[in-house]
Amino acid sequence: MPDADLQLYPLRALILILALGWLTACAAPFDPDERLTVDVPTRASVPGVPLIQQEAFYCGPTSVAMVMQWSGHDVTQADIAALAFSPGAGGTYLADMIGSARRKGQLAVEINSFDGLLGEVNAGHPVIVFQNLGLGIAPVWHYGVVTGYDLQKDEVYLNSGQLDQMVMPFALFERTWRRGDFWGLVVLPPDDLPATAPETAILNAAAALERVEQYHAAETLYETGSARWPENWLWQFGLGNARYGQGDLRGARRALLRARAIAPDIPEIRANLNHVQDLM
């Protein structure tokens, strides 16, 4: 087949060009001053994240399982795969990573910068990252869990679906993560807030727990958030709704009364308060 031969040449040239691009990219070292806008310690690590050998194509479910086992839950990669894995795609979509964690009653918030990544690791939270470990034309999409870093040694530590810890130089990690659009996911029990996520993102994560009927987890998260942001009535409003979802009318009323004390003029608070009081 001479045709096939001919077609190979442009492909080879392309691979060569890409390989050269790769090498040039390798030459650029990771500059923390350029990539970070907050001060972080030189090194940090999160102890106690288990190393789980992933089954074929299960890097996503395995990553969620590792983080949930770290926070004390008894879940396996198969449990998460049942909620997240798409057999037709041979992988796990980003949205299903988030969704599966929430359906397991976890607080799941995305981060998308080195500020967020290193900030969370410093706060003692492992972070799931989405990487492309292959070349641009032959992507190898992968999820791993960042459990630590050392700027001085130029190392990022990952639990990456193998029984050995993976160690990557910052520049290499940066390139693999950049091609995953710097997508990262913090998965925590609902009484432990992400250190770097904005308040609105955490509020939305709590409302998402209500949507999947994880009312107890939502309640815990609203309580935790209301302690950190006591002046925002939305935490008490959500708390009222989460308690109502569990049939706890008295608890819902208490929370909605607190919401009304913070913000007397919000019609939504009054409507829900009336509704709860009508049922009592």
Partner 1 sequence: MGLFNLTKTGIAVVLSAQLVLATTAVTMAQAEMLGTDAAISKYTQHQDRAFLMEELQRDDVQSEMVRLGVDPAEAEARLAALTDAEVASIMVQMEKDNAGADIVGTLFTIFVILLVTDILCLTRIFNFTRCVR
Which chain residues interact with partner 1 by CB under 8 A? 37-38, 112-113, 115, 196, 198, 200, 203-204, 206-207, 210-211, 234, 237-238, 241-242, 244, 266, 268, 271-272, 274-276, 278
DSSP state at residue 105 = T
Q: How far is the CB of 275 from partner 1 (least distance, A)?
A: 6
Q: Following DSSP, what letter does each residue of 148-197 receive, concatenated? A: EEETTTTEEEEE-SSSSPEEE-HHHHHHHHHTTTT-EEEEE-TTS--SSS
With H, G, I as helix, E, B as strand and everything else as coil, classify residue 135: coil
**Amino acid sitting at position 107:** L
Backbone angles phi, psi at 160, to 5 degrees: -125, 35
Q: How far is the CB of 260 from partner 1 (least distance, A)?
A: 13
* Rounded distance between C-alpha atoms, residue 92 and residue 84, angstroms: 6
Q: How far is the CB of 244 from partner 1 (least distance, A)?
A: 6
- Residue with smaller CB distance to partner 1, 68 or 197: 197
Residue with tokens 């019609």: 267
- Residue with smaller CB distance to partner 1, 60 or 119: 119
- Residue with smaller CB distance to partner 1, 66 or 111: 111
Q: How far is the CB of 14 from partner 1 (least distance, A)?
A: 28
Residue among 214, 218, 220, 280 nearest 253 (CA): 280
Please, which residues have CB within 8 angstroms of residue 164's CB and are 6 or more apart in sequence? Answer: 51
- Residue with smaller CB distance to partner 1, 103 or 142: 103
CB-based contact 40:147 (threshold 8 Å): no
Q: How far is the CB of 252 from partner 1 (least distance, A)?
A: 8
Q: How far is the CB of 220 from partner 1 (least distance, A)?
A: 15
- Residue with smaller CB distance to partner 1, 106 or 272: 272
- Residue with smaller CB distance to partner 1, 115 or 154: 115
